Structure 1
Amino acid sequence: MSKKIISTSNAPAAIGPYSQANFINGVLYISGQIPIDPISGNLEDGIEKETHQVMKNLKAILEEAGMSFSNVVKATIFLKSMDDFAAMNEVYASYLDANNYPARETVQVSCLPKNVSVEISMIAHQF
């Protein structure tokens, strides 16, 4: 078994005792990303802007591991309100190939870190 911690300054640093991602035997497990701009440290506001920032953070981690969204096989989305589902979904889909969507679930939660509206984690596979 081979394990490598993936870390990039192009995504926000972990805000707790976890890694941005772990790469194990060709599989990348990305921790949940929230809409923190890695350069300014500021949080985005509004579900569209938040989702764009989360996807940019995920993309940076994927790229650090030599992957892209086409390698993603599973996503988990946490929303503070299902009323944001359609707007989040539109932004989320704009980053993915419609012929290669990953498996996914979306769940509503009562609260997310730093009181953001969306958090997304992903699993990617090196093909």
Structure 2
Amino acid sequence: MRKYITEGIGLPQWSSPISHAVVVNDICYVSGQLAIDSAGNYVSGSVTDEALQAFSNLFSAISAAGFHKNDLAFIDVALIDIADIDQLNSVYRHLFVDGRRPARTVCQAAALPFGGKVKICGVAIRDRSPSGNDD
């Protein structure tokens, strides 16, 4: 089973011919999310501002696919300047407070669309255990 997420509540309307996410069975692969609001406007600001908007888009994409924030297993972040990792870490700590932080990579990108500072993509895996937590 494949499901292609091209629109959903809170998701920006993209002009690019891609899906925000693709679901294959119990796995949701989310495309790189930028700081674009639901009206399609780039939210230019600090790394913190852009990361919060990109994460909001990531969460909206997985929600549109029927997944939850705690289903996120892996996040990949591209920063235009790796020196901004402290700001990213602050956002990460704020968004993932219950200790269920996804695995993550961070790298520096030479350039991002719209002159952006942050791009975030991820993978969510639906938890089918009875407790919702396989600890």
Helix, strand or coil at the partner of 1:37 = coil
In the alignment, the residues of structure 2 paired with residue 118 and residue 98 of structure 1 have an alpha-carbon distance, to the nearest angstrom, of: 24
Distance in 1 between residues matched to 2:88 and 2:11, nearest whole Å? 20
Following superposition, the deviation at residue 125 of structure 1 comes to: 0.6
- Paired residue secondary structure (1:122): strand
Q: Which has the larger radius of gyration?
A: 2
The answer for unaligned runs of 5 or more in structure 2 is 128-135
| Count of matched residue pairs | 126
TM-score norm. by structure 2 comes to 0.86
2:71·2:126 contact (CA, 8 Å) conserved in 1? Answer: yes
TM-score of the two chains, using structure 1 as the length reference: 0.91
CA deviations 1:82-114 (Å, max 9, x no partner) are 111001111122111442111111000110111
CA distance in 2, matches of 1:30, 1:40: 18
Long gaps (5+) in structure 1: none
Partner of 2:3: 4
Q: Percent identity at matched positions?
A: 26
Bigger mean CA offset, 59-68 vs 19-28: 59-68
Alignment of structure 1 residues 1-127 onto 2, 5 Å:
2-6=1-5, 7-39=7-39, 41-127=41-127
Question: Which range is displaced more, 8-17 or 52-61?
Answer: 8-17
The 3-state SS of whatever aligns with 2:77 is strand
Aligned partner of residue 30 in structure 1, secondary structure: strand
